[in-house]
Amino acid sequence: MFSKWNRLAGALAILAAVATRGATSKVVKIEFPTCPGVKPGDVKMAQNGDDSTLFDLAPLTGPGVVCTWMRRVPESFSTATSHFSFRIGVNRTGCYRPDLDDTKQDDPVAVFVLACCGSKGATVTVEELDPGMELSYLRIVPMGNEARRKKNIPVGCTESGVLKDDVRTVTRVVSKEKVRLQFRDKPDPFFFGLLVNDLPAKPLTRDGVLYQFIYQRGKGIDGSGTSLSPNAIEVDALKLRQTGLKRLKVTVK
């Protein structure tokens, strides 16, 4: 019910943006003033918050071209409403809107000029979970400060992904970034979930996970103010039972 209105608002925003700027692109280019230690295959990007589908960028070579990577994406996007974030080795950037290079009018390029590279990000690993359990996550990314071009406007963004059976890690988690687990097969960007940054390092039973939900709601970090609502606890307990969760261990290193 919320997502319907938000998606409608998003669609209207895209329409409005396209109407005002009329810029769509399929090419992304990123330049770093310097890029010490960054290898050619180290740069990837997430488009519009999809952390499960990272695009590899290819380094550009040529006279006078340094620290520049490029990628053509399958679907065209509005440069006014889309946002991108980049993975550079063990680091990541915040989310930014692109600048537009329309020198080639028939093939405009979304350009980013960002500082490289922040400190090493942490890795969140989910362990001791039944292999078949469905688990998704949100990354609530703080505003970045890497922009070196005015039109690369930093935006607060939420990225999401699915933790599959073999790879249950969220990598390059930077300081102040919040990772939230959702016990469902597809992430819901309108729902908060369990805040990983606030969990103890020890393994949790299902009751332990329930207690963490109660505690996080009491702290008011689940998006609805501080609450000790017994009715909400009943819903949490029921849903955790339905997932079949028995144990959960989350480490952040």
Partner 1 sequence: MRARPTLLLLFLAATAAAQPRSIFDADDFVDPRERDGHPLFVSRLLLGVAKSYVDRYRPLHHDAGFVHIANSFYFSDFQFDYKRSEVRGEHGVPVMVCECEEGPIYFPTPPAPDATPAAPPPGSTDTLQFAWYRTVGVEGAPPLMLRYRLSWSRQPIDTAVTEIATGEKFARLSGREQSFGLEADTHLRIRGRDIFGSLQFARTKRSGTVDDRSQNELTYTNRFPAWRFRRILLRPTLTVGGVSGRGGTALNVVHPQFEAFWHDTTTRANLHLIWAPQTIRSGRGGWTTTHQIAFFVDRALFVRLFTNEPRNDSARQDAGGGAF
**Footprint on this chain of partner 1 (rule: CB under 8 A):** 1-2, 6, 95, 138, 140-141, 143, 155-158, 188-192, 207, 210-211, 214-215, 218-239, 241-242
Q: Smallest distance from the beta carbon of 64 to partner 1, in angstroms? A: 36
Q: Smallest distance from the beta carbon of 248 to partner 1, in angstroms? A: 15
Q: Smallest distance from the beta carbon of 230 to partner 1, in angstroms? A: 5
What is the CB neighbour count within 10 angstroms for residue 143? 14
Of 66, 4, 7, nearest to 38 (Cα)? 66
Q: Name which of 77 and 183 has its Cβ closer to partner 1.
A: 183
Q: Smallest distance from the beta carbon of 93 to partner 1, in angstroms? A: 14
Q: Smallest distance from the beta carbon of 102 to partner 1, in angstroms? A: 27
Q: Smallest distance from the beta carbon of 10 to partner 1, in angstroms? A: 11
Q: Name which of 61 and 231 has its Cβ closer to partner 1.
A: 231
Q: Name which of 2 and 106 has its Cβ closer to partner 1.
A: 2
Q: Name which of 10 and 33 has its Cβ closer to partner 1.
A: 10
Q: Name which of 24 and 160 has its Cβ closer to partner 1.
A: 160
Quote the CA–CA distance of 239 and 154 in Å, as a whole number.
Answer: 36
Q: Name which of 101 and 188 has its Cβ closer to partner 1.
A: 188
